[in-house]
Each structure stands twice: as C-alpha cells, then as structure tokens.
Structure 1
Amino acid sequence: MGPFLQEVSERLAAQVGAFDPEISAYAAEALQSQGKQLRPVLVGLSGRALGELTEAHVTAAVIIEMVHLATLVHDDVLDEAQMRRGQPTLAAHWGNDISVLVGDCLFAHALKLAASFPTTEVCRAVSAATNTVCAGEILQTRQRRNFNFSRDEYFKVVGMKTGELFALSCDMGAYLSRASAAQREALRAFGMALGTAYQVYDDCVDLFASEAEARKSLGTDLAKGKLTLPVLLLLERVEAAQRQKVQDWIEHWRPTRLQDLLQLMARYEALEGAQAAIQSGLQEAKAHLRQLPASPSRQGLEGLADLLAQQAAALRHPA
C-alpha cells in the first residue's frame, strides 16, 4: 500500500489550494493531522482484493479521509481536547469558532470531490455516510450521563460514529473495482465490524493508556460524561451501593477520581470484558472476508484485524 498511500497523502495536501488563501493555513493544519491512514488503507486493500487500483480509488480515499479529519476537528471542539496525535488540536490553536467552520469547509469540499465522479453512486454513499456519522455524534451527545444507556445503544452509536466510515472505505474500494453486490456487502460488513471494534479499543485507550502512548488528550470521555463500554460493564457488575457511588463520580467528575474508578474496574474486570467484545467483533469481521477470493490484499485485511486484536490484548490496568 506504500505507493498508494503516498499518492493519497500528496493529493490530500494539495487540496489546501482549493480553499480561499486567507483560510488556507487553517485547512493545511487540519489536513496535515493524518494518523494511521486506516481508511485509505481499507480503500486500497479492498480495491486491490478484487481488481487493480486506479486514480478513482485515490480520489475516494482522499474524500473519506477528509470527512474523517472533519469529524476529528469537530470532536476536539465537543470534547475540549487539547492534544491530537502529539500536537495541539485545531481548537486549542485557533479556538472553537474557527475550528467548527474549518470542519464544515472540509465536509463541503469532500462532497464537492465526490460529486466529480461520473456516477452519483459515490456522492450518494459519501453523503449518506457523513449523515450517519454526524447522527451518531448527536446520539452520543444526547446520552451523556444517561445511566440507563444500554450496551446495545452503545454499539449502535459506535457503529454510526466509526464503523460507518470503515464500512464506506471498504465498500467504495470494492465498488470502484467493479465488485459484485455480494462482494461489496461482505466488505462493507467487514468494515463495519472492524470499525466498531476499533472504536471500542479507542474508548479503552482513553482509560487504560498514557497520553504518550495515545498521543492525544485522555480522560475526555469521563470529563464529558460519555459512558463507554468499560464504564457500562462496571455499572452492570458492581453492587447497588457502589453503582450509585460510580454514578455520582461521573455526574460530578473530577480527575482525582480516576484512580478510584480504575481500581473498581480492575476488581470487576471491566477492561477484560471490553477486550472480549473487541476480539468477538474482530472474529466476525474476518468471517466476512471468506466470501472474497484468496489474495495478498485479503490477507492484508485479515492482518489489520489481527493487529488490532494484538493491540487490544496488550492493554493493561494501571499498576
């Protein structure tokens, strides 16, 4: 994927020229915050699993990565995050007002690129996915500090917020390689399962990693009252009196409570429960790939799931 990802990065950086010169510095900062390039990787591997990669695949990867970066800009505003990928967030650097508008510009430009395809299929799929991602963020925001929030509702939200763009990446890679309907559906299902597992992992990182390891602000979920899977598992497992105590901590959150919360999580094996959910989701993801012909790119997709499984298994309760 090296040459493909390099081309995606170059094309993404070149999009700065499409913005008004007076705001190009903001756009450049947002577009330069690429991380693991997971979504472009999924476009490339899915496309190559069923055919040859073309300029259309590069454009699709640029579009999806731009939508993803726009969601990160908005997430950092909502979470009041100061760090992202080892650097100050756009909001920390330029303020919330500018950051929200820069995110809006990225969304709009991504849809403009999607509309450049000779078919409406790409624009329709990108627009629908963007709608789903934003709807997922709204649902999560509405559920802050809602202690009746269920695991099923949690998985619905993370599927919408993160799984959807993974699914779109796989689907567009397959579509642009002229995949059959069954192959597109299999790859979309793989992406959804992988993306959902990835978000559960990321939610665990917010509690069980260090800022140096994660390269972003940690503890933002608890500070904003987001009930992630480890917290939900803890609430399910503690006795009634302790449950009320945990709810009070989250309702009136102070960072000094984190160690007490982590001790309870260790006692009730909340991390282990979340890790089991991640591993189950990744097994489901790999099962969908059996519908594809054997190839190095299919092995690459399986390898992504295996890598995430290793990273999730490596998480530990703080000493």
Structure 2
Amino acid sequence: MFAADTRAVVVPVTGASQKETHATWKHIAEPVEPFLEAVAQRLEKQVREFDPAIVPYAEYALTGQGKQLRPALVALSANASGTLNDSHVTIAVIIEMVHLATLVHDDVMDEAEIRRGRLTLAANWGNEIAVLFGDCLFAHALKLAASFPTPEICRAVAMATNTVCSGEILQTQQRRNFQFSQPEYFKVLEMKTAELFALSCDLGACLTGAPAVQRNGLRQFGMALGTAYQLYDDCLDLFGSEAAAGKSLGTDLAKGKLTLPILLAWEQATVEEKATLQGNILKWEPGHFAPVIELLRKYKTFAKSVEIINQYLEKSRQTLKVLPESANQAGLIGLTEFLARQTEKLGVCA
C-alpha cells in the first residue's frame, strides 16, 4: 500500500442492479458524491498553502470546480478494484491541480476569455500572472505527491505531468501544418489529455493494492476514455455553442490547431477546396469560420468523428472485463455512455 493515510472514506452504493448503468452525470457521480465533496474541500484548504499575495489567484482557480471528472475516475476505479481511503482524496487533489494548471496555461495560449462560465484567470489578471501561477500549481501538486511514503506516486505524477506538457508542445509545433497526420494527432491526444485520465484510474487502483492486471486494465480504460473525451472536445470547439459549453469556442481554428474534423475534410477535399481551407486557416479571421464549417459539413466530418469517438468508447468498455461486475464497474461504463450522449447532442449544431 502506498497510502499516506489509509482511513476509509465511506461511499454509499445505490441500490441499482450491478448491471444497470446510467448515462447522466447525476447518476454516475451520486455514489461517489461524498468523495467528490471531500476533494473539493481539500482543494479549498490548499488555497491557504500559498503566499498571501497569491491567495486571490489560488482561490479563483481552485474553487471554480467543473464536473470533477478526474476525481470521479479515481473514486470509481478505487471502488471497482478495492476500497476507497483518504489517500485517494489526496491523489485526486493532486491530479486535479495538475489539470487546473494545464487549463490556466491553455487559456493563455488560446487567448480564451471564458472558462466554466466565467472569466479565465488570464482574462482577470493578465498572461504573466496566469503563466506563473500555473507553474505554482504544478509545483504544489508535486509537493503533495512527495508526501506519500514511497516515491512511486510522486514519480508517476511527475511523469504524467511531463507527458501532458510534452503533448501540448507537440501540438503547438504542428499548428497550421497541413502535413499533420492522423497518427500524429492521436498521439497528441493521448499525451495531452488521456494521460491524466489514465493516471487517475491507475493510481485509484494502485492505492487499493489492486493486482497488476486490474491496474493495467483501468489505465487502458482511462487512456481510451480520455482520447474519446478530447475528440469530443475538439468537435465541441467546432460544432458546439459557447452558452452550452460555458467556455470560449472556435479557439482551435483561430490558433491554427488542426483537429480531427479538419484532417478528415483535408483528406477528401479537392485541390481548390484545400487551397481555400489552407488560406482561411493560415490567414485566420472570424469571417472564415462559416466557410470552414460548410466544408466540414459537406464531407460529413462530424458523423465520421462520432464514429471514431464511439470506437474509443467501445475499446474503453472492453478493458473493464478484467474487473468483477459491480455497481462501480457499471459507473465506469456509465461514463462512456454519458460521453456518447454528450457527443450526440452536438449533432444538433453539426
């Protein structure tokens, strides 16, 4: 056991059949709600660990919680392979802080003004403060990871953080590069997004003392689910609405990021269409959005993207066969169904 504190965290299990799954976030999160609340409270406590002059930034970043998807993965993976304890709260806080740090930096790079329905940290205090505070979040997460009695946890968090940042660098290098291939694109998705999903599942199982086969299965589940999630997010940026998403959209095109729908259209477009698409993205302005979307619709890139998302979701479900059937395994399957439903909703705009 690698737990810094192995006190049990009591998480009620609903009376649902073990095989019953639900595709709403409420049904998925309800069984682990006490755990998610404990994570939120501990994140708030971390605010006081920063220098008083930095507290306003920390409070703003650490208390504006989203769905807590990664902490939910920690809890569901732990319960599916063993028993939750207080160390899982700590590891969920660590992973969420790394995630929040990446969001702070992403918003600077994308010049995004809205995140989770409110102004980004950069929009409030400027890019310089945002970049430096993102660095502070990374460092604080590693400080917490070092509190575990063995180096394995800290090493895993450090390696995952390195992978995430490396993925962002690779994506930045490939901006406006129309030679960017699909295999290269999927590698970026695995590194920059799926890695933290995989880490959440792996360490959730690790801290219960789960056997290697279950840890590996859960890690592969997180990798496939995380890749599907980023594919969905890339489609959301093109086909979604800011009101529903609660964040700035259209930033990928503005920054020259070639996501799957663009790559799919590029493969099928005529020579003239390729020249127009390339010109629109290389010399981007808001008026270019409509013709780009028109081209994506012509080649049915949303439907093809959904097909690939569903392939990853099915792959993620298959990896869970190494686990015994339980309400918590069903909760993990429910996450895949929830993402599938969210993706379907984009079809209204696409």
Distance 2:257 2:98 in 1: 23
Matched position secondary structure for 1:21: coil
Q: Which of 44, 61, 79 in structure 1 is aligned with 2:110?
A: 79
Q: Is the 8 A contact 1:57 1:176 kept in 2?
A: yes
AA partner of residue 123 (structure 2): A
Q: Which of 263, 277, 280 in structure 2 is aligned with 1:249?
A: 280
- Relative contact order, CA 8 A, sep 6+: which one is greater? 2
Q: Which of 232, 244, 253 in structure 2 is aligned with 1:213?
A: 244
In structure 2, what is the equivalent of residue 129 of structure 1? Answer: 160
1:254, distance to aligned residue in structure 2 (A): 1.1
Map residues 277-292 of structure 1 onto 2, 5 A cutoff: 277-292=308-323
1:318, distance to aligned residue in structure 2 (A): 3.7
AA partner of residue 128 (structure 2): D
Distance 1:164 1:255 in 2: 32
Distance 2:202 2:170 in 1: 24
Establish whether residue 8 from structure 1 lines up as the match of residue 48 from structure 2. no
Establish whether residue 146 from structure 1 lines up as the match of residue 161 from structure 2. no
1:273, distance to aligned residue in structure 2 (A): 1.0
In structure 2, what is the equivalent of residue 238 of structure 1? Answer: 269
- Residue deviations 1:164-201 (CA, integer Å, cap 9, x gap): 00000000000001011111000000000000000000
In structure 2, what is the equivalent of residue 99 of structure 1? Answer: 130
1:262, distance to aligned residue in structure 2 (A): 1.1
Establish whether residue 43 from structure 1 lines up as the match of residue 43 from structure 2. no
AA partner of residue 178 (structure 1): G
1:48, distance to aligned residue in structure 2 (A): 0.6
Map residues 196-207 of structure 1 onto 2, 5 A cutoff: 196-207=227-238
Q: Is the 8 A contact 1:151 1:229 kept in 2?
A: yes
Matched position secondary structure for 2:53: helix
- CA gap 1:318/1:299 in 2 versus in 1, 3 angstroms: closer
Distance 1:27 1:195 in 2: 26
Matched position secondary structure for 1:195: helix
AA partner of residue 28 (structure 1): E
Unaligned 5+ runs, structure 1: none
Map residues 55-70 of structure 1 onto 2, 5 A cutoff: 55-70=86-101
Distance 1:288 1:281 in 2: 11
1:33, distance to aligned residue in structure 2 (A): 2.4
In structure 1, what is the equivalent of residue 18 of structure 2? Answer: none
Identity %: 60
In structure 1, what is the equivalent of residue 338 of structure 2? Answer: 307
Establish whether residue 181 from structure 1 lines up as the match of residue 212 from structure 2. yes
Distance 2:70 2:242 in 1: 23
Greater fraction helix: 1
1:267, distance to aligned residue in structure 2 (A): 0.9
AA partner of residue 247 (structure 2): K
Q: Is the 8 A contact 1:262 1:317 kept in 2?
A: no
Distance 1:161 1:316 in 2: 25
Distance 2:187 2:216 in 1: 19
Distance 1:64 1:132 in 2: 13
Q: Which of 261, 284, 299 in structure 2 is aligned with 1:268?
A: 299
Distance 1:26 1:42 in 2: 27
Q: Which of 59, 66, 69 in structure 2 is aligned with 1:28?
A: 59
AA partner of residue 6 (structure 1): E
1:71, distance to aligned residue in structure 2 (A): 0.3
AA partner of residue 129 (structure 1): A
- Residue deviations 1:226-260 (CA, integer Å, cap 9, x gap): 00001111111111111111011010011111111
- CA gap 1:232/1:107 in 2 versus in 1, 3 angstroms: same
Establish whether residue 54 from structure 1 lines up as the match of residue 85 from structure 2. yes
Distance 1:247 1:33 in 2: 37
Q: Is the 8 A contact 1:271 1:317 kept in 2?
A: no
- Residue deviations 1:46-96 (CA, integer Å, cap 9, x gap): 001111110100000000000000000000000000000110000000000
Q: Is the 8 A contact 1:34 1:69 kept in 2?
A: no
1:135, distance to aligned residue in structure 2 (A): 0.1
1:310, distance to aligned residue in structure 2 (A): 1.2
1:317, distance to aligned residue in structure 2 (A): 6.0
Map residues 157-172 of structure 1 onto 2, 5 A cutoff: 157-172=188-203
Distance 1:306 1:203 in 2: 18
Query: How many residues matched?
Result: 319
1:6, distance to aligned residue in structure 2 (A): 0.3
1:314, distance to aligned residue in structure 2 (A): 2.1
